[in-house]
Structure 1
Amino acid sequence: MISLSNLVKTFNTRDGKVTAVDEINLTIDEGEIFGIIGYSGAGKSTLIRLLNMLETPSSGEVTIAGKTMNKLSSKKLRAARQEIGMIFQHFNLLWSRTVKENISFPLEIKGVPKTERDERVEELIRLVGLEGRGGSYPSQLSGGQKQRVGIARALANNPKVLLCDEATSALDPKTTDSILELLVDINKKLGLTVVLITHEMHVIRKICHRVAVMEQGKIVEQGNVLEVFKHPKQEMTKEFVKQVTEPEETEEAIRHLLEEEDIGHVLQLTFVGREAEKPLITNIIRTFDVTVNILQGKISQTQNGPYGSLFINVDGEASELERVIAYIREQKVQVEVIHP
């Protein structure tokens, strides 16, 4: 569906040439939700703007649905852009227009007859859950409702691709989750290819099938979300994964526990996929002559299955502890002794 080949974007600044996107090669499959994550300045916003030619590549190619975007004439590019919807961090709504009029705007530009426009707008209002708000103005809406208008507007022309530029960064956690659920629903109902950029691993974890990690204009790691969670290779990726699997409060709690003199052996277990559903701790207690105390744990769901970490305190003879660790590894669960 989307193919990026040796893609480069440079900007000339007073301080010299800046390479925002540096030799990126990437393929995104039709119908998948693909996440691009990175810190500010990584180049991810520039990359997503290159997909619909809001930025022109310095070199390389952008191919979407068989069309090389940066080789199209102006007329053909305008037509190709109608197959690409985009939603923004700060909504970019027309404040003097109602919800219906905002959603209708792309159809007006396209020259769609009014009766057909009105039918399409009502259909989209139902799809994004804004029934009864069609006559409201953006100033009368919550942040989540504004983003729903932005999503409906982006879908007006029945695009094949939906680009999301930090679409949930301006929203509170609960509203963020509702918007992410809406994007998953749209992806399933319409078979839409969704590309989103974010600096939050929670967003990637919740809805993406695959992810690419950007740093200094380059993609430093990519893959199936569950595999990236399981085996993060780059330090930056490990930091992002830690946002979800070891939140700050977990780190603090474990640090305090390790300061206790009689804490004994502390193991960190990492579960991926079906292993997260096994009664591992129960089996350890029944099988081995040890006592087990659960210190802290969290299981998260990804689009590809569950992922989680568990910190446990195990008390017993050293030989028995070795048997426990061997057993855990036999169950395809990662284990690390973090104390002593």
Structure 2
Amino acid sequence: MIELKKLSKVFDTGKGSLTAVDGVELDIAPGEIFGIIGYSGAGKSTLIRLLNGLEKPTSGSVVINGQDITAINSKDLRKARQKVSMIFQHFNLLWSRTVKENIEFPLEIAGVPKEKRAERVLELVELVGLAGRENAYPSQLSGGQKQRVGIARALANNPEVLLCDEATSALDPQTTDSILDLLVDINKRLGLTIVLITHEMHVIRKICHRVAVMEGGRIVELGDVLNVFQAPKENITKRFVAQVTDTEDSQETIKHLRELYPSGVLIKLVFVGDQTEQPILTKLIRKYTVDINIVQGNIAHTQRGAYGTLILQIKGSQPEIDEAIAFLNAEDVQTEVMAND
């Protein structure tokens, strides 16, 4: 569906050049919810603007559904953009227009007849959960409702790709979850390819199938969300994962836990998928004469399955502790000794 080939964007700042996107190579499959995460200045906003032709690359190409949008004229680019819609952090609604008129606007521009516009607006209002609010103005809506209008407007021309530029960062956590649930529902119903950029790992964890981590204009880590949660490789990825799991393995964390639990062995367990539902600790306690104390734990649910981390204090004789750890490894639980006596 989307292919980025050696994509770069260099800006002339007047004081020199700034490379915002640096040789990005990426494939996004049809119907995929793909997340791009990075801190401010990572290049993710520039990258998403390259995807819909709002920015021209310095080098490389953007191919969407077989069409290289970096190599077409302005007329064809305008036509191609109808298949690539975008929703924004600050909604970008027309404040003098009602909900219905905001959703209708791109259809007017496309020259869709009035009757068909009305029919399409009705479908979209139902889809995004705004039935009964068609005649309200943006000033009369909550933040979540405004974003639902933005989503409906973006879907008006039946796009193949929906780009989300920090679409939930201006919303409270509960409203964020409702908008993310709506995006998942739209993805499943319409088979829409969704690409979103964010700095919040909760967003990636909740709805994305795969994720690219950006830093300094480059993609430094890429993979299925569940695999990235299970075994993040780069330090920046570990920091993002720690936003959700709260089990960052920094030396300070280990030292603090060691002070709180001075005896025995501290181990970190990682459970993935069906493992999170298995009574592995019950089996461990019944099988070995060791004392188990749960120090810290968290389970996060992704689109590909659940991911759980657990830090345990195990006390007992060293042979029994070694056998207990060997048992966990045999159960395909990723086990890491964090500290011991």
Larger mean CA deviation between 45-54 and 263-272 belongs to 263-272
> What's 1:219 paired with?
219
What is the one-letter code of the residue matched to 1:281? L
Deviations 1:152-207 (A, max 9, x none): 00000000000000001101111111000000000000000000000111111110
> What's 2:84 paired with?
84
CA distance in 2, matches of 1:171, 1:308: 27
Deviations 1:11-30 (A, max 9, x none): 10022100101111110000
Is residue 230 from structure 1 mapped to residue 241 from structure 2 by the alignment? no
Residue pair 2:254, 2:338 contacting (<8 A) in 1 also: no
> What's 1:104 paired with?
104
> What's 1:68 paired with?
68
CA distance in 2, matches of 1:299, 1:224: 17
CA distance in 2, matches of 1:145, 1:66: 35
CA distance in 1, matches of 2:273, 2:80: 39
Distance 1:247-1:150 versus aligned 2 partners, 3 A rule: farther
Is residue 188 from structure 1 mapped to residue 169 from structure 2 by the alignment? no
**1:273 to partner: Cα distance:** 1.7
Alignment TM-score, normalising by the size of structure 2: 0.96
Deviations 1:285-323 (A, max 9, x none): 110011212222111111111101011221211110000
Is residue 297 from structure 1 mapped to residue 324 from structure 2 by the alignment? no
Q: Secondary structure at the match of 1:97?
A: coil
Distance 1:260-1:229 versus aligned 2 partners, 3 A rule: closer
Deviations 1:11-62 (A, max 9, x none): 1002210010111111000000000000000000000000110111111110
CA distance in 2, matches of 1:298, 1:223: 21
Fraction of identical pairs, as percent: 64
> What's 1:207 paired with?
207
CA distance in 2, matches of 1:93, 1:173: 22
Larger mean CA deviation between 192-201 and 228-237 belongs to 228-237
Residue pair 1:257, 1:263 contacting (<8 A) in 2 also: no
Aligned positions of 1:49-60 closer than 5 A: 49-60=49-60
Gaps of 5+ in 2: none
Larger mean CA deviation between 288-297 and 79-88 belongs to 288-297
**1:264 to partner: Cα distance:** 2.9
Deviations 1:36-94 (A, max 9, x none): 00000000000000011011111111000111001112111111110111000111111
CA distance in 1, matches of 2:178, 2:22: 34
> What's 1:45 paired with?
45
Alignment TM-score, normalising by the size of structure 1: 0.96
**1:258 to partner: Cα distance:** 3.3
What is the one-letter code of the residue matched to 1:202? H
What is the one-letter code of the residue matched to 2:154? A
> What's 1:95 paired with?
95
Q: Secondary structure at the match of 1:259?
A: helix
Aligned positions of 1:245-324 closer than 5 A: 245-246=245-246, 258-260=258-260, 262-324=262-324
**1:339 to partner: Cα distance:** 2.8
Q: Secondary structure at the match of 2:131?
A: coil
> What's 1:131 paired with?
131
> What's 1:197 paired with?
197
Distance 1:252-1:95 versus aligned 2 partners, 3 A rule: farther
CA distance in 2, matches of 1:224, 1:183: 19
The count of corresponding residues between Structure 1 and Structure 2 is 339
CA distance in 2, matches of 1:53, 1:296: 46
Residue pair 2:254, 2:339 contacting (<8 A) in 1 also: no
CA distance in 1, matches of 2:322, 2:261: 22
Residue pair 2:261, 2:313 contacting (<8 A) in 1 also: no
Is residue 116 from structure 1 mapped to residue 116 from structure 2 by the alignment? yes
Q: Secondary structure at the match of 1:220?
A: strand
What is the one-letter code of the residue matched to 1:50? L
Is residue 23 from structure 1 mapped to residue 23 from structure 2 by the alignment? yes
CA distance in 2, matches of 1:336, 1:247: 13
